[in-house]
Amino acid sequence: MNVLDVPVVKYWEDGSRAVIEQVAVEEPLEIFVDNTPFYMTMRLPGEEVALALGLCFTDGLIASMSDVSGADYCSDVSTNKIDVYLSEERKKRPLPVRDRQFTSYSSCGLCGSDMVRDLTASIEKIEKTITVRFTDLFPMQDVMEQNQAARRSTGATHAASIFDGQGNFLSFSEDVGRHNGLDKAIGKLLLDGRLPEAKIIHLSSRLSYEMVMKAARMRAEILTGVSAATSLAIKVADALGITLIGSLREPRGNVFTHPQRIG
């Protein structure tokens, strides 16, 4: 269950009364890789395997499901722990160094251009293969909003929805964490073997550089959000060839980078 009924006292201009409100459930999830702690996050319960695989993918640990020999809940049937096991072939390649970004970018002497260069160094620039009419983005955004059941009940979740180059729906998820929502949606495509089809991502949240990096790892060409974009997100999207669109609310939106994909 990802929604919980709780008693509250609700106040209005003319007084107050006791009512029942629905709130989003938030619980910890531990992700172990080959029996070693890899990540801990707070999340909306549900789709934990997809979340673990999506996070491993966007973190650079795996490139496809061929790098995974298994992924499932802990043997004690805990839904708050996922075990991921790498394939023998994947184990032969070096693993990414965790916390490198935090260490590298915590010094006050690093400039923004250095950070953009480091972030984009290992990702090949994304070439243009699709063109989308600006007005065609809104029906896709509507699909995301229609699927946000937990948000309608609680007002406390973020969502991510992924489409192919023709606007066909591929994947959706929502979570209390905006990063988790996108990782879950990516993980579903990994499990279904449909990640190469993904071209357009819609988010219910602001556009930070982390979200741009996740989009870049899956080779998406267009990333939109209903909220604003940060300056670093714009710089990274520009460097990686991603069309970044912020404040997308019909009939408006701000195309920050690579507008040639928008017809």
Q: What Cα–Cα distance (Å) separates residue 207 from each residue in 190, 230, 262?
A: 23, 6, 18
**Domain membership flag for residue 130:** yes
Show the tokens assigned to 96.
């990414």
- What local confidence, expressed as pLDDT, does residue 96 receive? 76
Catalytic annotation on 108? yes
Please check whether residue 102 lies inside any domain of the structure: no
Number of domains in the chain: 1
Tens-level pLDDT at each residue, the chain (263 residues): 688 898 888 767 787 788 888 889 888 899 999 999 999 999 999 999 999 999 999 999 999 999 999 999 986 666 889 999 999 999 999 887 664 333 333 333 445 567 788 888 889 999 999 999 999 999 999 999 999 999 999 999 999 999 999 999 999 999 999 999 999 999 999 999 999 999 999 999 989 999 999 999 999 999 999 999 988 899 899 999 999 999 999 999 999 999 999 98
Per-residue pLDDT, 195: 97
For residue 1, is it within any domain?
no
- Write down the catalytic residue from 56, 74, 108, 111: 108
Task: Provide the pLDDT for residue 190.
Answer: 97
Q: Is the pTM of this model over 0.95?
A: no
Range of the domain at 121: 108-261
- Is residue 239 a part of any domain in this protein? yes
DSSP annotation string for the chain: --EEEEEEEEEETTEEEEEEEEEE--EEEEEEETTEEEEEEEE-SS-HHHHHHHHHHHTTS-SSGGGEEEEEE-TT--TTEEEEEE-HHHHTSPPPPTTHHHHHT-STT--HHHHHHHHHTTSPPPPP---B-GGGHHHHHHHHHHT-HHHHHHS--EEEEEE-TT--EEEEEEESSHHHHHHHHHHHHHHHT-GGG--EEEESS-B-HHHHHHHHHTT-SEEEESS-B-HHHHHHHHHHT-EEEEEEETTEEEE-S-GGGB-
> Cis peptide before 251, with omega less than 30 degrees from 0?
yes
Are 40 and 46 spatial neighbours (Cβ–Cβ below 8 Å)? no
Domain contains 255: yes
In angstroms, rounded to a whole number, what is the distance separating the alpha carbons of residues 153 and 5?
10
pLDDT value, residue 105: 37
In a domain, 210, yes or no: yes
CATH number at residue 238: 3.40.140.10
- Would residue 161 count as lying in a domain? yes
**Six-digit token pair at 218?**
């899956």
Q: Please enumerate in sequence order all residues whose Cβ is within 8 A of that of 66, keeping only pairs 6 or more positions apart, or say none.
A: 87, 89, 90
**In the beta sheet, which residues pair with residue 172?**
161
- Domain for residue 86, yes or no? no
